[in-house]
Amino acid sequence: MNDGDETVIEAYDDGLRVVREERVRPDAYHVDGPDGRIASFEIPAAARLYADLYAVTGGFDEKETGRRGVPPTIARADEEVRMTYLAVRFSLPYAARAFEVDESAAREAVDSVHARAAELRSRDGGNG
């Protein structure tokens, strides 16, 4: 689906979607919800991971969490979700250091969240 300079590259049944914005400088990738833009990224994989994380948790609000804060929904979630949040917002090495695990363990957490989101999409009849 294309809307002007934006193309939907992933869509979820609940109105969540990953959108590529074509620009002169590097393209931007946004996670949009029914109420508008939720987050923006320079890397499509990061936008997809954030959207998957958002779908798995049922949504979360980053307002007033500060630069290094964590939304309450994420803080209360399981370790895989918390680790994935740090990986998408900072980096995989940062998440691994924060949890005192190897990067391979952090990668497994991220992969697990992707798999959980894929299961949600297939169960809900979504695409992607």
pLDDT(128) > 60: no
Percent of the chain as helix, strand, coil, to the nearest 5: 45, 20, 35
Give which of 90, 82, 109, 106 is closest to 41, Cα–Cα. Answer: 90
Any domain includes 2 = no
Q: What is the pLDDT of residues 84-98, one digit of tens each?
A: 999 999 999 999 999
Mean pLDDT of the chain: 89
Any domain includes 101 = yes
Q: What is the pLDDT of residue 26?
A: 82
Per the structure, the count of domains in the chain is 1
Any domain includes 1 = no
Q: Which domain holds residue 58?
A: 7-125
Q: What is the pLDDT of residues 59-73, one digit of tens each?
A: 999 887 877 689 999
Any domain includes 82 = yes
Confidence band for 127, pLDDT divided at 50, 70 and 90: very low
**Predicted TM-score of the model (pTM):** 0.87
Q: How many residues does the chain have?
A: 128
